[in-house]
Amino acid sequence: MTFESLHIIPSILEALHEEGYTQPTPIQEQAIPPALQGRDVLGCAQTGTGKTAAFAIPILQNLHLQQAAGPISKGIKALIVTPTRELAIQINDSLSAYGKNLRMKHHVIFGGVSQVPQTQALQRGVDILVATPGRLLDLMQQGFISLQQVQLLVLDEADRMLDMGFIHDVKKILAKLPAKKQTLFFSATMPPEIAGLAASLLHQPAKVEVTPVSSTAETIRQSLYHVNREHKKLLLAHLLKDSDIKTALVFTRTKHGADKVVKDLLKSGFSAEAIHGNKSQNARQRALSNFKNGTTRVLVAPDIAARGIDVELLSHVINYELPKVPETYVHRIGRTGRAGASGIAISFCEHEEREFLRDIQKLTGIQIPVVSEHPYPLQAASAMPREESNTRRTPNNRFSSPAYGRNHSNHSSGARRNTRSSY
């Protein structure tokens, strides 16, 4: 399959070739043709699959062909809504690259910076607007933006917008859009609220799913600790005493939970920060920068808020709480073990999370190896955990290391692909 076979116009093909693009990725191959035909698209794909080009190329081509056919109305004709500043900038850069040979005006708006340059660009005229929900809604309410001329809408990383608390802003934005429009909807997972939103927006969409989310990297060694909820913070502190855990990305299900874990870790003497939608843009960037440069050893994030985090040589991912959506487990642990490097994924499971664990193991097709020898085994709530002083082991005992996952045989190498639809 080549880009030429997708019926992309020469001016965009030339730009793609200059960017070094030779063959379309699976999502581009599947999403571009129906999008060029004007169909709605429901894409299940995560960051790194090439989905930006999958929606940017059809937008550029369809608007260019309209432009070539005769005068078109002024105003924003395509709106791309994405959850973070970083993604918005990346998408706008991609539009510049793919559309370098076209006469198409595009601009990006996001919060955390002065709105003046953004409003000035809007007043000069914009064909394609890339925006984060908060700043978009703010400028709409101030009267700087009208969406009455929008013909094409893209919702990118919809599940992440839900996780970051933007879904109500998104619904307010949707209410101001014309009823008749083409919609391209992308999400890595389909929790009920996102599936419902997609169903309300899309008309007979072409459904595209790539890179089955059931498969876990063979380079990731997984392990499972059964533990009471009240002992999780003690177990986490115990594991982090291992100096081999250079960096750890810890996942919770909620923002409040992430803040609580950070508070507990700081009390125990570990450097930790949280990153989630309730933090300011500057605070999120500072936390991520500190984690990348080693100033902060532990970064704590709720579910999808960390999907865009790409940290080289991240050694450990720790699921402090198991996710309710099993596909999210695969995305979480995929933060480590990248580019052929080895990684370790540790998961805690309490009584009430057993159902989540069953769903995860059914999806991935593997039984996560259980570490039974640790100071805080699952027990009746009234029972006390075994003290570490009572769990003496010889240095040669494989359980002597808190980060036991590295000593497992690689059970995850047997993970089989599961093509179950996650729509």
pLDDT tens digits, one per residue of 257-300 = 999 999 999 999 999 999 876 777 688 878 888 998 889 999 99
Strand 316-319, strand 343-349: pairing: parallel
Mean predicted confidence (pLDDT) in 183-204: 92
SS3 421: coil
Distance CA 320, CA 308 (A): 19
Fold of 220-414: Rossmann fold (3.40.50)
- Percent of the residues in the chain that have a pLDDT greater than 90, as a whole number: 57
* Residues ≥6 apart with Cβ < 8 Å to 115: 109, 135, 138, 139, 144
How high is the pLDDT of residue 1? 81
**How is residue 418 written in tokens?**
């599961």
How high is the pLDDT of residue 25? 83
Indicate the pLDDT class of residue 304, thresholds 50, 70 and 90.
low
Which H helix or E strand runs over 106?
A: strand 106-109
pLDDT at 235 over 80: yes
SS3 117: helix
Mean predicted confidence (pLDDT) in 323-334: 81
Residue 87 CB neighbour total at 10 angstroms = 21
pLDDT at 155 over 80: yes
Residue 421 CB neighbour total at 10 angstroms = 9
Please state, in angstroms and as integers, the Cα–Cα distance from residue 304 to each residue in 60, 122, 198, following that order.
29, 31, 18
Indicate the pLDDT class of residue 213, thresholds 50, 70 and 90.
low
pLDDT at 191 over 90: no
How high is the pLDDT of residue 210? 77
All CATH 3.40.50.300 domain ranges in the chain, comma separated: 4-209, 220-414
Q: Which comes out higher in pLDDT, residue 104 or 254?
A: 104
Superfamily of domain 4-209: P-loop containing nucleotide triphosphate hydrolases (3.40.50.300)
Place of tokens 């581009």: 28
How high is the pLDDT of residue 380? 56
* Nearest Cα residue to 8 out of 57, 68, 54, 55: 57
pLDDT at 417 over 70: no
Residue 82 buriedness (CB in 10 A; 0-12 / 13-18 / 19+) = buried
Contact 257, 145 (CB under 8 A): no
pLDDT at 338 over 90: no
**How is residue 410 written in tokens?**
């690689």
How high is the pLDDT of residue 114? 93
How high is the pLDDT of residue 384? 40
Rg over CA atoms, the chain:
23
Contact 274, 298 (CB under 8 A): no
Which H helix or E strand runs over 206?
A: strand 206-209
Please state, in angstroms and as integers, the Cα–Cα distance from residue 250 to each residue in 23, 85, 236, 275, following that order.
36, 23, 9, 10
Indicate the pLDDT class of residue 211, thresholds 50, 70 and 90.
low
